Amino acid sequence: MLAFFVLVPLAALILLNVPRKAVPAKAAAAVALVLCIAQAAVVIIRPWDVFVNGGPLNHYFAFAQNADPLSMVMLLTIAIVLFAAMLVAWDGFAAARQLFNFTSVLLIALIGMNGTSLVRDLFTLYVFLEVTAIASFILIAVARGRDALEGAFKYIVLSAVASALMVTGIAILLLAGGATDFATVAQAVRASAGHVYIRLAIGAFLCGLFIKGGLVPFHGWVPAAYSSAPAATSVILAGIGTKMSGIYALIRVTTSVFGLNPSVQQALLLIGAVSILVGAFAALGQKNLKWLLSYSSISQVGYIVLGLACGTPLGMLGAIFHFFNHAVLKSLLFVNSAALEDRVGSTDMDRMGGLGTRMPFTSVTASVGALSTAGVPPLSGFWSKLIIIIALWQAHFHVYAAIAIGASVLTLAYMLVMQRRIFFGTATDASAAVTETRFALVFSEVLLAAITVGIGIAIPFMPFALDTLKTVVAGIK
């Protein structure tokens, strides 16, 4: 059953590229959209216990796959973000061939991220992370512009360093435990927890994930990659790409393999807090919208790491909830950026102004994304941040709770500045004749904003929503 999450997009990729006569680009894009819708529908409609972790396909595709509720949350998030990105790409490329190439590589990314969310083996996890990384590298460079190639080069160099660190850690753990499946490695780590080589292996693997996740001090590649990539690629990278490669993998191995010993906990707390502050302060001074959103992404990922570092069920609940919220919010804001770039021709905020009445859908949805990112109630971002702050306080990490609150004020400040410079004030020469963006982008904006508003409003009146999140935390394997 679970193998279909990998095999179906693989089959679609092959069928689109095998025919001698080229498949129309829009037809290929439509296939990708249908796959994303189908994946989201399967996760939402089917209850958890229907996802059997066995089946005849596992005899042929036995890559230590297993589905717990956390995996299902990730599969849903992947489907939502890639659907939004595909809508951005629909009319976003000048040549049909570029759209076809983008769609093909997006399917590869879908394979890599779905596999990452399902595997229960360190080496197989590494393989799917590399599939995702290679797809991301190509997606950044797909437009073949100078900036895109430069951003792709920075990404692939640092990703290679991260890969080397992860392989080193896996090799040491293989020598210690004799296998790389989660259960065996976890047992070996518990049996030899005090040994230097085990600590070295864990440190190397986690550093690789910090690089892939764009956490401070390994964040230098993030703004360059996000800002230089085509608009649809930016949605993928900021929304789910780096989070699956770094942050989801960090959550998974910390809870299922390495455990949260005091040294790992202190490292996560420190890196999470520093990422929050560095990202927030760096975003304050940005004039380019994509750079501002890139640093904001670094800051918001820090909240997820802080929630994970609490080491409590409430902290884990907040981390997973904020992971989902941030994926949707950052996708929304980068779709807004794509809409503005589509109409103004640039993401330089100095060239914008007075667009609130000219682009009403983009203006309203950008406000939703900005306020939710800052943690303004009753939007969804408020609830996940609140849970993380309460978890930090209950775990007696009072200083880190204060940092999380203070950084939310900074986030609100730079988000309000962004809103004022783009949607209020006097129109510039570049924005004077602007009208609302194309339908595909508007639909994507409205969909993502509706998810954010709907979840935020529903949570206080729907106790089962938090009960579902608690089930996700309890079911992590």
Does residue 115 carry a pLDDT above 70?
A: yes
Over residues 360-389, mean pLDDT = 90
pLDDT at 59: 47
Rounded Cα–Cα distance for residues 232 and 27 (Å): 18
Rounded Cα–Cα distance for residues 365 and 36 (Å): 22
Provide the residue type at 24 as one letter: P
Does residue 465 carry a pLDDT above 60?
A: no
Question: For 9-36, how does the pLDDT look when each residue is reduced to its tens digit (9 = 90+)?
Answer: 899 999 988 876 777 888 889 999 999 9
Over residues 83-101, mean pLDDT = 85
Both tokens of 435, joined, read 């009208």
Both tokens of 164, joined, read 């080397």
Does residue 431 carry a pLDDT above 70?
A: no
Does residue 333 carry a pLDDT above 90?
A: yes
What is the DSSP code (8-state) at residue 22? P
Does the residue 66 lie in any domain? no
Rounded Cα–Cα distance for residues 448 and 450 (Å): 5
Rounded Cα–Cα distance for residues 382 and 94 (Å): 39
Cite the DSSP H helix spans in 246-312.
249-253, 262-284, 289-309
**Of 470 and 256, the one with more pLDDT:** 256
Provide the residue type at 85 as one letter: A
Does the residue 442 lie in any domain? yes
Over residues 310-323, mean pLDDT = 89
Question: What is the maximal distance between C-alpha atoms in the chain?
Answer: 68
Does the residue 447 lie in any domain? yes
Question: For 202-224, how does the pLDDT look when each residue is reduced to its tens digit (9 = 90+)?
Answer: 889 999 999 988 888 888 788 88
Does residue 430 carry a pLDDT above 80?
A: no
Least confident among 142-151, 179-188, 209-218: 142-151
Mean pLDDT of the chain: 84
**Of 146 and 86, the one with more pLDDT:** 86
Provide the residue type at 446 as one letter: V
Question: For 283-303, how does the pLDDT look when each residue is reduced to its tens digit (9 = 90+)?
Answer: 888 888 989 999 999 999 999
Does residue 46 carry a pLDDT above 70?
A: no
pLDDT at 52: 46
Rounded Cα–Cα distance for residues 234 and 451 (Å): 20
Locate tokens 């976003």: which residue?
Answer: 92
Does the residue 92 lie in any domain? no
Does the residue 461 lie in any domain? yes
Instruction: Indicate the pLDDT class of residue 48, thresholds 50, 70 and 90.
Output: very low
Distance of CA 200 to the CA centre of its chain: 27
pLDDT at 49: 45
Number of Cβ within 10 Å of residue 441's Cβ equals: 26
Does the residue 463 lie in any domain? yes
Tell me how many domains the chain contains.
1
Closest CA to 139 of 126, 156, 127: 156
Q: In which domain, by residue range, is 401 found? A: 296-477
Both tokens of 2, joined, read 């679970």
Over residues 351-359, mean pLDDT = 83
Threshold 0.75, pTM exceeds: yes
By the 8 A CB rule, do 204 and 166 touch? yes
What is the DSSP code (8-state) at residue 428? -
pLDDT at 61: 47
Over residues 409-436, mean pLDDT = 82
pLDDT at 177: 80
By the 8 A CB rule, do 96 and 18 touch? no
pLDDT at 219: 82
Does the residue 331 lie in any domain? yes
Does the residue 341 lie in any domain? yes
Does residue 347 carry a pLDDT above 50?
A: yes
Rounded Cα–Cα distance for residues 422 and 323 (Å): 27
Question: For 256-286, how does the pLDDT look when each residue is reduced to its tens digit (9 = 90+)?
Answer: 888 888 888 899 999 999 999 999 999 888 8
Name beta bridge partners: 119: 65
Rounded Cα–Cα distance for residues 35 and 33 (Å): 5
